[in-house]
Amino acid sequence: MKEKIMTDHIRASYQPVGLFEDTSFEKIHNVIYDSSIEGSILVANEIAQLIKDKQKENLNCILGLATGSSPVKVYEELIRLHKEEELSFRNVITFNLDEYYPMEKNNIQSYDYFMHEHLFNHVNIVLENINIPDGTGDLDNLYQSCIDYEMKIKSYGGLDFQLLGIGRTGHIGFNEPGSHINSGTRVITLEHITRVDAATSFIGIENVPRKAITMGIGTIKNAKRIVLMAWGANKSKIIQETIEGEISSIVPATYLQQHNNTSFILDEEASSELTRVKTQKLIIQIT
């Protein structure tokens, strides 16, 4: 197994695993919190620290960002840090994971709209530093715009930090089952389960786009640091498969087992299917 290169200050900021907890089935570092609020604040603090560290060195901080319900509280805390503790986003350059296709930017279902609503409108980020895959382009130019997105990330020296959620299909970004480990930014067809999960916000599955533009697994895996968050019982099964299962394109998130600086931040419900958690419950019941 590859050596984990998590730095000391990151390791210290997350809770250590209890001495008698059995993590032998786990192939990805993970930390379990009582609540998603607690976990989100820790993640926001890690991002804020990275931004400040880069500022000290006069460097840009290149962040890969996610949408959906999982990162909402992280963004709330980053906004609070900006408003109350003077965290500046002047040196921050962002690349979002994905966007539905086709999708107008001003549509309230677009990830572009989501990001402005939940983060960008409330902090001092330079608008030109925001990058989100363009869901408005015509099909003929899509291939080129995906390559351009990939090249732009590379031109900044890659992502310093990638924030992720996970879909019930095991997707990260919109890399659905079957995605290749070296895939780059591209157009993908969404799985039925993914469209079902998005149906409420689109007021009916028939309104959910069938396609999306997503950074690839290769793009994500090139990030220097990856943090994936999962909250709630409906993520527990896919979290167990991702952390304890074998690497497989059927569960694309398992590719993260090969990344040497990834942490999963979970709440109790999302962790409930892990062997460590289940055996712990068993011990408590027996004793």
Q: Which stretch binds ligand F6R (CB under 6 A): 45-53, 79-87, 165-173, 270-278?
A: 165-173
212 belongs to the binding site for ligand F6R (CB under 6 A): no
For ligand F6R, the binding residue among 93, 172, 208, 277 (CB under 6 A) is: 172
Distance CA 191, CA 179 (A): 12
DSSP secondary structure letters along 31-52: EEESSHHHHHHHHHHHHHHHHH
Distance CA 60, CA 64 (A): 13
Q: Are strands 130-131 and 262-267 parallel, antiparallel or unpaired?
A: unpaired
Nearer to ligand F6R, 96 or 257 (CB): 96
Of 99, 176, 191, 244, which residue is the catalytic one?
Answer: 176
First to last CA, the chain: 35
Whether residue 176 lies in the annotated active site: yes
Give the HSE-up count for residue 177: Cα atoms under 13 Å, Cβ half-sphere: 12
Nearer to ligand F6R, 91 or 215 (CB): 215
Q: Nearest approach, Cβ of 49 to ligand F6R (angstroms)? A: 23
For ligand F6R, the binding residue among 39, 64, 133, 165 (CB under 6 A) is: 165
Q: Which stretch binds ligand F6R (CB under 6 A): 24-32, 45-53, 101-109, 167-175?
A: 167-175
Beta bridge partners of 131: 95
CA 282 to chain centre: 32
Q: Which stretch binds ligand F6R (CB under 6 A): 67-75, 79-87, 131-139, 144-152?
A: 67-75
CA nearest 30: which of 244, 252, 278, 283? 244
Contact between 132 and 33 under an 8 Å Cβ cutoff? The reply is: no
List phi, psi (to 5°) of 3: -70, 140
Q: Which of residues 75-134 bind ligand F6R (CB under 6 A)?
A: 97-98
Nearer to ligand F6R, 62 or 91 (CB): 62
For ligand F6R, the binding residue among 30, 36, 67, 236 (CB under 6 A) is: 67
36 belongs to the binding site for ligand F6R (CB under 6 A): no
Q: Which stretch binds ligand F6R (CB under 6 A): 37-45, 51-59, 65-73, 266-274?
A: 65-73
DSSP secondary structure letters along 90-103: TTEEEEESEEEES-
Query: Catalytic residue numbers?
Result: 176
What residue ranges bind ligand F6R (CB under 6 A)? 66-70, 97-98, 165-167, 171-174
